[in-house]
Homo-oligomer: A and B are copies of this chain.
Amino acid sequence: MSQGKKRKNSGRVTLADVAKLAGVGSMTVSRALRTPDLVSTGLREKIDAAVAQLGYLPNKAAGALASSQSDIIAVILPSLTEFATNEIVLALKGVLEPAGYQLIFTASNYDSQEEEKQVRALLQHSPAALILPGTAHTSQTLKYIENMSLPVVELSALTLTPVHINVGIDHHASAYQLTKFLYMKGYRQIGFIGAHTNFGRFAMRLAGWQKAMIDHDMASHRLVLGLSEVSFSVGAELLMDTLARWPDLDAVICGHSEIAAGLILEANKQGVKIPEQLAIATFEDPNLCNTLQPSLTTVDIPYAEVGREAAEALLQALITGNRDKVVKSLGFRVKTRAST
């Protein structure tokens, strides 16, 4: 027997096993798998056969270590359960997975401290790129990112100081436009209902509404903020409260479509006529908003496009190594439906 090795190998099939079976050097196997053109046909076939016979799977951890390159792209989203998330995830996958990247997702729950934790965890996997929400980041987060010097994408919201690539929507403007739209329709007592309003795009929407109200000489004080989570039932609760508080309200903008949906369901129950007694408008989820009765006027936001554009810009940056700042603002439009 040979004198015991200091450490036993993991038992996996390795490059060396394939090389031995094929009767070549392990470097040739490595090449045959990654750059087949550089290997002669004969050897390549022998190697492919050996790979198939052994069911060899490369160990990417070892590869990443040796080449300091990884095919992992880390994605942090604000939440995993929103319409926007779904659209963006599908778009990112659609572009990046065919290009050979593996995506890892986590959620920050609109909390920059939590985001920092996630960044710390994800960067340990040496990802090829990092995708985050286009919101404020902690200074530690920025330091980590700088240390790793990798391509970074900030998504969904536009930011004043982009790290690298920033693809998003001007949420402030979208709320402004929506408010203006209601103004044009003749509404004057326009309220705003939201929650989580200190975070991300919701804060921007609130500000956009306020600005529009002031610019058009309307009173901007009719504001209700739910304290708990965003959900149908919160919307339902808020309806009667709001009406009791401001009986003269003729329209309301909801920061989230879930809340708007809750409002409508409750209005139907209570016999409040939409839009005759109260017009409702909101953002984002066309599927939900079209399902409701009456259907809901929304600002349609092209999240799929946000994801696609971001992924494509990132791919460019990965290929060319170019780290110039890229900022792209995508449009939106008010989609009129029955609720206004």
Using a CB–CB cutoff of 8 Å, the interface residues on chain A facing chain B are 10-13, 55, 57-62, 64-65, 68, 70, 72, 80-81, 86, 89-90, 93, 97, 102-107, 120-126, 140, 143-144, 147-149, 232, 261, 265, 268, 287-288, 290-293
Instruction: Tell me the complex Cα distance, A11–B61, Å.
Output: 18
Asked whether B90 lies within 8 Å of A86 as measured between CB atoms, the reply is no
Question: Quick one: given A104-B102, A104-B104, A232-B291, are A124 and B81 in contact (CB under 8 Å)?
Answer: no
Asked whether B61 lies within 8 Å of A126 as measured between CB atoms, the reply is yes
- Measured between beta carbons, the chain B residues less than 8 angstroms from A68 are 10
Instruction: Tell me the complex Cα distance, A36–B291, Å.
Output: 56
Pick 16 A–B contacts, CB within 8 A, sort by A: A11-B149, A12-B148, A13-B147, A57-B147, A59-B124, A60-B61, A60-B124, A61-B64, A61-B126, A62-B65, A72-B125, A102-B121, A102-B122, A103-B104, A103-B106, A261-B291
Instruction: List the 6 closest A-B pairs by CB distance, nearest first.
Output: A10-B68, A61-B64, A61-B61, A60-B124, A61-B65, A62-B65
Question: Quick one: given A80-B86, A104-B102, are A124 and B57 in contact (CB under 8 Å)?
Answer: yes
User: Nearest B residue to A293 by beta-carbon distance?
Assistant: B293
- Measured between beta carbons, the chain B residues less than 8 angstroms from A90 are 80-81
Question: Quick one: given A89-B80, A291-B232, are A59 and B12 in contact (CB under 8 Å)?
Answer: no
Instruction: Tell me the complex Cα distance, A143–B125, Å.
Output: 27
Asked whether B144 lies within 8 Å of A57 as measured between CB atoms, the reply is yes
- Measured between beta carbons, the chain B residues less than 8 angstroms from A72 are 125
- Measured between beta carbons, the chain B residues less than 8 angstroms from A97 are 106
Asked whether B102 lies within 8 Å of A105 as measured between CB atoms, the reply is no
**Apart from A11-B149, A57-B148, A97-B106, what 14 extra A-B contacts exist at CB < 8 Å?**
A10-B68, A12-B147, A13-B147, A55-B140, A58-B124, A60-B61, A60-B125, A62-B65, A80-B86, A80-B90, A102-B104, A103-B104, A268-B293, A291-B292
**A48 CB → nearest B CB, Å:** 15
- Measured between beta carbons, the chain B residues less than 8 angstroms from A293 are 268, 293
Instruction: Tell me the complex Cα distance, A11–B147, Å.
Output: 9
Asked whether B144 lies within 8 Å of A55 as measured between CB atoms, the reply is yes
**A262 CB → nearest B CB, Å:** 9
Asked whether A120 lies within 8 Å of B65 as measured between CB atoms, the reply is no
User: Nearest B residue to A11 by beta-carbon distance?
Assistant: B149
- Measured between beta carbons, the chain B residues less than 8 angstroms from A107 are 93
- Measured between beta carbons, the chain B residues less than 8 angstroms from A268 are 293
**A115 CB → nearest B CB, Å:** 14
Instruction: Tell me the complex Cα distance, A339–B72, Å.
Output: 47
